[in-house]
Structure 1
Amino acid sequence: MTGRHSPPNIRTPVKPARRIMAIWLARLALDRWRHSEACQGGEGADALPTALITETAHGPRIDAANDAGLAAGAAPGMMLADARTLCPQLQAVPSDPAGDLAFLERLAIWAQRWGPWSALDAPDGLLVDVTAVAHLFGGERRLLDDVLARFAAQRLAVRAAIAPTAGAAWALAHYGGPQGTILAADEDGAARLSTLPVAALRLDADVLLVLRRLGLKRLGDLAELGRDAVQRRFRNRRSPAANPLVRMDQLLGRVPEPLLPVVAVETPLVQRRLLEPIRHRPLLDQVVADLAADMVRALEARGEGARRLELGLWRVDGEVAVRKLELAAATREAAHICRLFAARLDDVEAGFGIEMVRLRAAWSEPLDLAQADLDAAAQQHGTSLAACIDRLVVRLGEQAVRRPVPKGSHIPERAQGWQAPLDPQPSSQEELAFHSRPLKILGMAEKISVLYASPDGYPRRFRWRGGVHEVTRVEGPERIAPEWWREKGSARLRDYYRIEDEQGRRYWIYRAGLADDGRGGMPDWFLQGFFA
């Protein structure tokens, strides 16, 4: 008789519930400005009323203000001129959105101590995946306490929350009440979040205005209204930030929300810890040559070439000397790197000796392997164009080797710029068709006094640098309007004239503004160039 055997009891692993932590740096721009002031020795600068401003077409506008500035009456969104009527001693500091974003990216990498990946929630937040990692910190409450304590040690004001979705975590961090709010995985998220304002849905400002006009102030009001009514009102909105239903579904986990993790890019770095400190130049050159060979192998393994190199020298007494190089083109030539650093090490003081040397490629670019040819031989012997430019830069200075390139602007002083010798010209800068231009243009237009028959007439006589010039021939005007996207609203148009005086000398002058343009008083005249 054949017996039956029971199958083994195989347990399917349970997938852990997803947990997202949102970190909101409520005063990111101000905190970063305070850090920069402290690094420059201005620890007490925060005691003065200070506002971060952005230039607009109507004048400087306040983006953020410190506590002293807020107490004095300065508020975000206020014009700087209005704020200074309330607080004349208010200091204005230009905002730096690009610097804030770079600082936020570094914080995102640093925040990966709490989870396997992190994402930016621009402009002032982070999202960290803390799924199945809270037990390493003793639970989610202790995890949040650790987050708040570490940011407080860095003097960064933050609010944090943990929830099953990124939208819910963001809403609780911004509008969830006390610090360190947690929405449990088995908790009714719809009921817990129903009392939050509709601004917790991360919607555009115009959508929030429409919801408030409809009397929908909280998330519970949207749920009571019904999906059909909301769908009819916002059916043409495709973007998630413009559709309350999409944001609500993302908040409650009904539809997925894609997040882009921040990936740390490791820069190539090689170093030597010396058994005995070195004090003599030949030994230092030998160490630099060894490091250059190591760096070449590291770059070759990545398929890249170095554009910016940093050489750090650690002395026995704790002092660090840093020498930097920026190359005209990506390179992996060890001899070329050593030759350039040789000119930067003449002023290095070894003191009691150098015990560690580190070489880092702060900027690298893709550089494919190539078969050796005549050009490669020229590069090896230091006679190629890129090697020549690098040697000139080391000898003359970075700003001494530049080449002019045309810019896409009708304004004469902006129609040309300078860039590195071998950098490619941006493809977006198309050549513009100009009228005749002088061969010599002044770096800054000089004001002149012009006598003319009427406010809009041709110039007849002008005074420049103490001399009076009679105008015998005039051609023009050529009208150039201001660039409204980069200038203030008070910028005036220009009327250019090509003139010739009684001695046959030809000038390029322009009138800034019209008498009745409403952007100032009487127009001014300027001389900007000379014809051959």
Structure 2
Amino acid sequence: MGRAQQRRIVSIWFPRLASDRVLRLRASGAAAEGPFVVTLKQANAERLYCLNPAAARQGLEPGMTYADARAFCPELESCPADPAGDARFLRVLRRWATRYCPWVGLEGDDGLVLDITGAAHLFGGEAMLLVDMRRRLSRAGLSARIGLGDTRGAAWALARHGEGCASPGAPLEALAGLPVAALRLDETTVTALQRLGLRTIGALDAAARAPLARRFGPGLMLRLDQALSRQPEEITPQAEPPHYGVRMTLPEPIGLEADVMAGAARLLDRLCARLAAREAGARALCLTLRRVDQGAQHVELRLARPLRDPERILPLLARGAGEIDAGFGIDQLRLEATQVAPLPARQLSHVSTGQADRLDDLISRIGTRVGLEQIRRVLPADSHIPERAYTVAVAAYSEPGGGWASPRARPLSLFPPEPVPGTGPRPPRRFRWRRLSLEVLRATGPERIAPEWWLSDESWRSGVRDYWRVETRQGRRLWLFHTPQAPGWFVEGEFP
């Protein structure tokens, strides 16, 4: 039997993933020539999270406060960090890297690991494969450092501390001069090893193992052996996301709406069973109807809540199916869940949820005509300022909120403050408002509301307000406030 093929691992590190991603999205590449940073709020301070080369040449470093960075570099441009966007972009790069080999995994938040064993000859050898990687990444505007070795640890060390290649079967020759931090150790262990005079991997490998294992535990020796091919380390490729799509090819073309809906019902049963197996629900569906002339009709449906109930989804598809043009007939139907959200199984109980389900279905039906984003609901907000005590959210992407927590009643109608004549801390007995002469019958108050100092609101910078609930003899029930620091009376709302 022949000898097993030597494993070869590639590690790709993107040291400027966040800034490169943002600069790629900008319309003009001119911004990449000047200093640019991505900032992240940490410990109540905006700190530098990622820098482009121009910013690094100015002496800026990650972790520096943004205020200090602007003092060093007044022309500095910045953008807030988006870790979720960076993670999505890294997954896109992982899919791109499968062009070199099928075994590609994520390496932390800013790297990839590839098992190219048996695949390098397809690109003319390892050297040509690495050249092709660097050329394509550079053309895409991405800074990357690449390491190649027999193990994952060796490739990681070379990518982040040497950017080179280790010859097959001789990892120590390439790693001996690298610092011990290249073994993926924590900072405490690295500092302790440096104090013992063990600053490089070569010096650590030459030292006695037993005393080091007793002092630092087995983890140190494991990392060393993994890097030097003495201990195996597996690479787990990231699984491809599940595909939620089903199709049906018909032996004879159809054209009636009833036949289309019957086919859609069968596809829905299969699709919902696949969603249920992964405890997911569809937020958006696309039904594609292929005609015999190779044309296609699309019926799109967006749902207010994740669903996997065929009986509830099918009636919502009926409106779009009734508007299709079958032409000379439809010979294939394809149904795909284009947007999916988690939908875990729920415990059945005697409490009915039919009312909430009917409301969601109503929002979905109206949303197919006017758009889900046009249907909004008012939610309570945590603020004692009347104008800030509510938020407006898209109903399809929010849950109904609880009641407003307010010690006093609030008017149903609010409007910008309108001045009325009056003096003194109590409401005037008579005043004119909107060309009406009003006489106060009863006044309840005051309720003092102070501005929120952490928010900059021009209308509240004048100071506190004393609110009164005023009932007039003419039947109007108004909400007035008085400003003690600059005496004046204003009407801001009206009770029903």
Decide: shared fold, TM above 0.5: yes
Aligned counterparts of 2:448 and 2:230: Cα–Cα separation in 1:
67
Which residues in structure 2 correspond to 1:286-305 (within 5 Å)? 294=267, 296-301=269-274, 303=276
CA shift in 2, pair 1:100/1:507, >3 Å? same
Alignment match, 2:208:
226
Query: What is the CA-CA distance between 1:312 and the residue it aligns to?
Result: 9.0
Aligned counterparts of 2:159 and 2:146: Cα–Cα separation in 1:
5
Q: What do the CA deviations read for 1:185-242 (whole angstroms, capped 9, x no partner)?
A: x22x23431101122112233433444444432112323443344335434xx8x5xx
TM-score by length of 1: 0.63
Alignment match, 2:199:
217
Match of 1:29 among 9, 18, 26: 18
How many residues align? The count is: 437
> Structure 2: which 5+ runs fail to align?
326-331, 346-351, 427-441, 455-460, 470-494
Is contact 2:287-2:298 (8 Å) kept? yes
Match of 2:282 among 307, 313, 336: 307
Aligned counterparts of 2:321 and 2:74: Cα–Cα separation in 1:
48
Alignment match, 1:129:
115
TM-score by length of 2: 0.67
Query: What is the CA-CA distance between 1:343 and the residue it aligns to?
Result: 6.6
Aligned counterparts of 2:141 and 2:300: Cα–Cα separation in 1:
31
Which residues in structure 2 correspond to 1:110-509 (within 5 Å)? 110-178=96-164, 181-184=165-168, 186-187=169-170, 189-235=171-217, 244-257=220-233, 259-269=235-245, 294=267, 296-301=269-274, 303=276, 306-309=281-284, 311=286, 325-333=302-310, 336=313, 339=316, 342=319, 360-361=336-337, 362-363=339-340, 365=342, 384-395=358-369, 397-399=371-373, 401=375, 437-440=407-410, 503-507=443-447, 509=449
Match of 2:46 among 52, 60, 64: 60
- Secondary structure of residue in 1 paired with 2:447: strand
- Secondary structure of residue in 2 paired with 1:266: coil
Specify the code of the residue in structure 2 equivalent to 1:140.
E
Aligned counterparts of 1:115 and 1:436: Cα–Cα separation in 2:
61
Q: What do the CA deviations read for 1:291-315 (whole angstroms, capped 9, x no partner)?
A: 675455344355466522254989x
- Secondary structure of residue in 2 paired with 1:17: coil
Alignment match, 1:51:
37
> Structure 1: which 5+ runs fail to align?
1-10, 275-281, 350-355, 369-374, 447-463, 473-501, 515-522
Q: What do the CA deviations read for 1:349-385 (whole angstroms, capped 9, x no partner)?
A: 9xxxxxx9975313155688xxxxxx99x99xx9834
Specify the code of the residue in structure 1 equivalent to 2:116.
V
Is contact 2:443-2:468 (8 Å) kept? no
- Secondary structure of residue in 2 paired with 1:55: strand
- Secondary structure of residue in 2 paired with 1:92: strand
Aligned counterparts of 1:48 and 1:283: Cα–Cα separation in 2:
62
Specify the code of the residue in structure 1 equivalent to 2:284.
L
Alignment match, 2:430:
none
Alignment match, 2:87:
101
Aligned counterparts of 2:466 and 2:335: Cα–Cα separation in 1:
48
Aligned counterparts of 2:67 and 2:248: Cα–Cα separation in 1:
56
Is contact 1:438-1:529 (8 Å) kept? no
- Secondary structure of residue in 1 paired with 2:114: strand
Is contact 2:299-2:321 (8 Å) kept? no
Specify the code of the residue in structure 2 equivalent to 1:394.
T
- Secondary structure of residue in 1 paired with 2:32: helix
Specify the code of the residue in structure 2 equivalent to 1:309.
A
Specify the code of the residue in structure 2 equivalent to 1:183.
S
Which residues in structure 2 correspond to 1:49-88 (within 5 Å)? 49-88=35-74
Specify the code of the residue in structure 2 equivalent to 1:134.
A
Alignment match, 1:458:
none
Query: What is the CA-CA distance between 1:124 and the residue it aligns to?
Result: 0.8
- Secondary structure of residue in 1 paired with 2:39: strand
Is contact 1:171-1:201 (8 Å) kept? yes
Is contact 2:101-2:119 (8 Å) kept? yes
Q: What do the CA deviations read for 1:114-160 (whole angstroms, capped 9, x no partner)?
A: 33322211121011122333344443333333333333343322222
Query: What is the CA-CA distance between 1:80 and the residue it aligns to?
Result: 1.5
Aligned counterparts of 2:384 and 2:196: Cα–Cα separation in 1:
48
Q: What do the CA deviations read for 1:296-336 (whole angstroms, capped 9, x no partner)?
A: 5344355466522254989x9x9x99966244131353884
Is contact 2:373-2:394 (8 Å) kept? no
Aligned counterparts of 2:363 and 2:273: Cα–Cα separation in 1:
23
Is contact 2:444-2:468 (8 Å) kept? no
Which deviates more from structure 2 when the two are superposed, residues 356-365 or residues 254-263? 356-365
Aligned counterparts of 1:82 and 1:47: Cα–Cα separation in 2:
21
Q: Percent identity?
A: 30
Is contact 1:404-1:417 (8 Å) kept? yes
Aligned counterparts of 1:221 and 1:527: Cα–Cα separation in 2:
72
Query: What is the CA-CA distance between 1:112 and the residue it aligns to?
Result: 2.5
- Secondary structure of residue in 1 paired with 2:141: coil
Is contact 2:307-2:313 (8 Å) kept? no
Task: Supply the RMSD in Å over aligned alpha carbons.
Answer: 5.4
CA shift in 2, pair 1:396/1:252, >3 Å? same
Specify the code of the residue in structure 2 equivalent to 1:267.
H
Aligned counterparts of 2:419 and 2:380: Cα–Cα separation in 1:
34
CA shift in 2, pair 1:103/1:227, >3 Å? same
Query: What is the CA-CA distance between 1:505 and the residue it aligns to?
Result: 2.5
